[in-house]
Structure 1
Amino acid sequence: MEDKVFNLCVIGTGPAGIITALEYAKLNPAKSILLVEFGKKDTVKNILDDSIEITNTANHHPPYECTNKGFGGTGLTWGGRCVMYDEVDFIDRPVVKNGCTWDVNLFNEVKVYLEKTAAYFECGDAKFNLNDIDEFKDTHVAEGFKENTVTDKVIERWSMPTRFGARYIDEINALPNVTLLEGFEAKTFTDPDDEGNVQALQIRDWNGNVKTIQAEKFVISAGTQESTRILLRNKNLFRLLDNVPDALGKYYQGHLSGKIASVVFNGDPKKTDYGFLRDKDGVYLRRRFQFTTDFLVKNNLLNTAIWLDNPLYHNPKHKSGAMSFMYMAMITPIIGKKLAPPAIADSITKGKVEGIGSHVFNIIKDLPFSIIKPVSIFYKRYLLKRKLPGVFLYSPQNKYALHFHSEQVPFDKNTMTLSPDGEKLIIDYSLTDDDINSVIALHKELDRSLQATGAGRLEFWFPEKELYSEIKKMSRDGIHQSGTTRIANNEHEGVVNRDLKLFGTKNVYVCSSSVFPTSGQANPTFFLGAFATRLAHHLTQN
């Protein structure tokens, strides 16, 4: 293997790495592709996650809750939610402090590849607005809702393969031009020659043994943390530039997320779309409240999605036997770990074990439905091929908790840096005033909009003076990582160009959500898949 020169070497086998390799292999059946994956089958503890230090554990999950090592990458615990980025994410606004280093033209270029991307995710047609889907056109979330500054038409789609590794491993193994190498860490690139070409990469196995891989082109697709660590270790890749790009390792972003209010609709509760819709192909869809581009730009606010949700599971005051039963299952040590990944489980239970007696009372009070409903949900969620993505319960009071998911400011003090020994990755992460105040302002606008049209109103869970501190306390990310190797037009503003090519090189690319300069309201997985599809075509054409 060390004597062979591969046409393409892809580092990392998460959804982006898998899509890049598969699409390139289909376009170039005569060319050789090497996939390098650090993890091995059933990887649990590993030296990379063990060598990460997080300075703010209140707002950032620990390493083992953020990423996964092994074929499929973080797709091993991905929930399957496919969401599109929005035009406003590509418009520079004062609130993002000149951090929007990509543009609407790039957004439109990437959208060309959405249908191919949707095929990989098996999430149906690449339509993310209900007005583009005949059976849902001109429908609304609740009786009396009217669009103005707020729309209820934007949707999320749910992928069939929530485990990309399990879905595509057989296809990868069956391709004669693809070689999968597991248990190796990408360690050291050779210097670019005077033309910017990098000839080889040293990789290291778990026992410290080193191999040298040669390739015509390299794609670093190891997730934000590890892609950034690889580049921080290999600053020699920038030797043809005057300086290492200042943006490398900076502007780390995720999302603010949580619940601070409920919505009460005024119309018929039986006409409220509180749960999932299904399209003609059986794909699960879900509405999200979002705000128009004009409103966000005019009011200098961050892009945010808000959707109907259940009350907090851990608080037995919801009086739902089904919710109490599911909460009790989630906090049961062995069962809970099998029901959801740690970060998702924490978002449901909030790490709290309380009110057990009241939860038991709720379960007994609602028998047999407190057990029948969860059993039905379990069947749909775990035993069917296209799984029920989540659990949302009907409210006869037409009252639902609201879950917000909000963009973060590209803040230069949110960083990933290396310790002096070059091994430990140190993550500094915090929330800014703009992050939090935008969430509050947009909830107020949603309330104003609903009341102005007579559709309903918001009930806030906390006094106004406590909203800031409560949002800061509840928001915890590290799962939707982006920003640290951002796209830009030049090396003074970013790390890669609009084709994802590393500044200072001719044949090294980064395909990770680390290239996204703004985080928007969307989780990055689907849109990164579109970038991966586009990159495979770019590599083929060039």
Structure 2
Amino acid sequence: MILDARNPDVSLNRTTELAIVGAGPAGLVLARELAELTPVLLIESGGVAPDPQVAALQEGESTGIDYPLTETRSRGFGGSSSLWAGYCAQFDPHDFAQRPWVADSGWPFGVEELTPYYSRVARLLNLGHADFDARAITARAGSRLPLDGRQLAPTLWRFGTPIQRFGESFQPDFASSSTITTLTHATVADIRLGAGLDHVAELEIRTLNGRRGHIRPSMVVLACGGLETPRILLNANRQLACGLGNGYDLVGRYFMEHPHFTIDAFELLQPDAFADWTARGCGGNGLEYLSCLGLNGEAQQQLGVLNARLHLYRTPAMAEDAAPRAGLFMEQAPNPNSRVTLSEQADALGNRRLRLYWRLSELDRLSFVRTAQALAATFERKGQGRALGPPPVAPSPLYSNHHLGTTRMAESRHKGVVDPNGKVHGIRNLYISGGSVFPTVSWANPTFTLMALTYRLANHLQSLLRPGCQGTSHDPKCKE
């Protein structure tokens, strides 16, 4: 059932086996998967429809590269999937590896941990299948790759039909569910730990009409996105002055986006050869794709650069037959100085607003320059394009609405906020789900990988919740 926490007839004091905070894609999928084993309480700060007062809770300060904190996310049932443009892509296998030229790179596991979930993610996102082979898909579509070669990585985005709008598609089942109780307009204002400060004992929730309540969970998952999740942890500072999971000052650090740069002074000579780069092609069964191109892992290593993909586009102001422009979607390097902290200003519920300091590193800008030069040279060799001016210089970046890395995953609490299973180091019943746990972010839009990671977490939590495991009232049922 879905209940409005502002309603005085709805109890806000509850005990639950599992509390999931955030009804975005990760929270909704986790709730659905885990409700097969235990009743779930899903806590959502927004409602089922947009609300300006709720949106105002997302306001804050941007003190680095200018970044909009409200229009890049949505608070409510379905989360920011209501803003999603549907771009699906997979990380490359080397994105998970430790790369000597990229400080703080490396996931605690490889792509093989996520590939078993790719088929389920493809069905969830209305992709039909998990095939992202650019050469095979374009061949089936009767198209061709105008550029290919030993150092190149032909790639494509795929789009589900229709685009998965989690709020719309999940709402009927959640409204009628007997095992999932969804509290809307309920904001987690504080997280309190029990004796020993090693487990969550209570969540305090507040509403914009002045109601308060206390949830006593056995297990908690925060699934609130890469900006709100660290904000919640940092605001929970009554017992630990630094906030939860922040003993080594890592909560909020390593904020990463996918900066986009235009390659100025580059001309495409044969635009007709790149028709499915500027307009979507059809890969069969009505499923669309859009082509792009990058350097493969070997070439990235040789140049000492981050992952990136070149795409071709026309702005709305350009004529339909104008030669398209070229841009790069970039991986951002992990940077501890690009971070979320707390503002001195409070929101309507009394919690400190967030302050974002988004910044790029020298490696980010160097990667743009070297990748742009290498790909432009390939276009020239093939007679497909030419440079018109001096070597490229990284301009101010555009953002991609991706909030990643702020509660990063690592084996050690000295290196990350959560362990490889998403559990907050030092707090035995608190987990985090979402792109905030990504240690590195590839070039690729995060949704496909995020959902694979969500299914992996669901599988881990299911193993803890199955009957026959042992635990206490404030501990997952199985020992870790």
TM-score range, shorter chain: 0.7 to 0.9
Any conservation in 1 of the 2:141–2:284 contact (CA below 8 Å)? no
Aligned equivalent of 2:395: 472
Q: 1:94 to 1:171 in 2, by over 3 A?
A: same
Q: Does 1:282 align with 2:293?
A: no
Q: Amino acid of the residue matched to residue 100 of structure 1?
A: S
Aligned equivalent of 2:353: 424
Q: Does 1:255 align with 2:258?
A: yes
Q: 1:282 to 1:268 in 2, by over 3 A?
A: closer
Shift of 1:413: 1.3
Q: 1:492 aligns with which of 407, 411, 414?
A: 414
Q: Does 1:403 align with 2:344?
A: no
Aligned equivalent of 2:42: 35
> Which has the higher mean CA deviation after the structures are superposed, 246-255 or 269-278?
269-278
Q: Secondary structure at 1:190's aligned position in 2?
A: strand
After superposition, where does 1:504-519 map in structure 2 within 5 Å? 504-519=426-441
Aligned equivalent of 1:330: none
Looking at structure 2, the residues matched to 426 and 240 of structure 1 have their Cα atoms a distance apart, in angstroms, of 15
Aligned equivalent of 2:306: 302
Q: Secondary structure at 2:203's aligned position in 1?
A: strand
Aligned equivalent of 1:176: 178
Aligned equivalent of 1:44: 52
Any conservation in 1 of the 2:422–2:457 contact (CA below 8 Å)? yes
Looking at structure 2, the residues matched to 238 and 534 of structure 1 have their Cα atoms a distance apart, in angstroms, of 32
Any conservation in 1 of the 2:220–2:429 contact (CA below 8 Å)? yes
Looking at structure 1, the residues matched to 376 and 400 of structure 2 have their Cα atoms a distance apart, in angstroms, of 29
Aligned equivalent of 2:28: 18
Aligned equivalent of 1:70: 76
Shift of 1:297: 1.8
Shift of 1:39: 1.1
Shift of 1:80: 0.9
Q: 1:450 to 1:416 in 2, by over 3 A?
A: same
Looking at structure 2, the residues matched to 242 and 10 of structure 1 have their Cα atoms a distance apart, in angstroms, of 18
Aligned equivalent of 1:87: 93
Over aligned residue pairs, what C-alpha RMSD do you find? 2.8
Looking at structure 2, the residues matched to 192 and 162 of structure 1 have their Cα atoms a distance apart, in angstroms, of 39
Looking at structure 2, the residues matched to 510 and 199 of structure 1 have their Cα atoms a distance apart, in angstroms, of 16
Q: Amino acid of the residue matched to residue 76 of structure 1?
A: S
Q: Secondary structure at 1:66's aligned position in 2?
A: coil
Any conservation in 2 of the 1:238–1:505 contact (CA below 8 Å)? no
Q: Does 1:102 align with 2:107?
A: yes
Q: 1:267 to 1:169 in 2, by over 3 A?
A: closer
Q: Amino acid of the residue matched to residue 408 of structure 2?
A: R
Shift of 1:224: 0.9
After superposition, where does 1:1-400 map in structure 2 within 5 Å? 1=11, 4-25=14-35, 27-28=36-37, 31-40=38-47, 41-46=49-54, 49=57, 51-56=59-64, 59-97=65-103, 99-103=104-108, 105-131=109-135, 133=137, 136=140, 140-142=144-146, 145-152=147-154, 154-159=155-160, 160-194=162-196, 196-235=198-237, 236=239, 244-261=247-264, 262-266=266-270, 269=273, 274-310=278-314, 312-314=315-317, 318=318, 320=319, 393=320, 399-400=323-324
Aligned equivalent of 1:412: 336
Shift of 1:123: 1.7
Deviation string, structure 1 residues 271-292 (Cα, Å, up to 9, x no partner): 7654212233211111110211
Segments of structure 2 that go 5 or more residues without pairing to the other structure are 1-10, 346-350, 465-480
Any conservation in 2 of the 1:101–1:517 contact (CA below 8 Å)? yes
Q: Does 1:534 align with 2:456?
A: yes
Aligned equivalent of 1:378: none
Q: List 4+ stretches of structure 1 deviating above 6 A.
A: 237-243
Looking at structure 1, the residues matched to 461 and 271 of structure 2 have their Cα atoms a distance apart, in angstroms, of 53
Deviation string, structure 1 residues 185-215 (Cα, Å, up to 9, x no partner): 1122221444933232111111332111122
Looking at structure 2, the residues matched to 229 and 472 of structure 1 have their Cα atoms a distance apart, in angstroms, of 30
Shift of 1:304: 0.4
Looking at structure 2, the residues matched to 540 and 175 of structure 1 have their Cα atoms a distance apart, in angstroms, of 19
Shift of 1:435: 1.1
Q: 1:7 to 1:117 in 2, by over 3 A?
A: farther
Looking at structure 2, the residues matched to 93 and 525 of structure 1 have their Cα atoms a distance apart, in angstroms, of 23
Deviation string, structure 1 residues 350-406 (Cα, Å, up to 9, x no partner): xxxxxxxxxxxxxxxxxxxxxxxxxxxxxxxxxxxxxxxxxxx566xxx43212110
Shift of 1:65: 1.4
Q: Percent identity?
A: 26
Any conservation in 2 of the 1:88–1:297 contact (CA below 8 Å)? no
Looking at structure 2, the residues matched to 266 and 419 of structure 1 have their Cα atoms a distance apart, in angstroms, of 51
Shift of 1:514: 1.0
TM-score by length of 2: 0.85
Segments of structure 1 that go 5 or more residues without pairing to the other structure are 321-392
Shift of 1:137: 8.9
Shift of 1:174: 2.6
Shift of 1:489: 0.6
Aligned equivalent of 2:373: 444
TM-score by length of 1: 0.76
Q: 1:138 to 1:245 in 2, by over 3 A?
A: farther
Larger helix fraction of residues: 1
Deviation string, structure 1 residues 93-119 (Cα, Å, up to 9, x no partner): 24422x11414x342101211111111
Q: Secondary structure at 1:67's aligned position in 2?
A: coil
Looking at structure 2, the residues matched to 192 and 95 of structure 1 have their Cα atoms a distance apart, in angstroms, of 42
Q: How many residues align?
A: 445
Looking at structure 2, the residues matched to 22 and 504 of structure 1 have their Cα atoms a distance apart, in angstroms, of 27
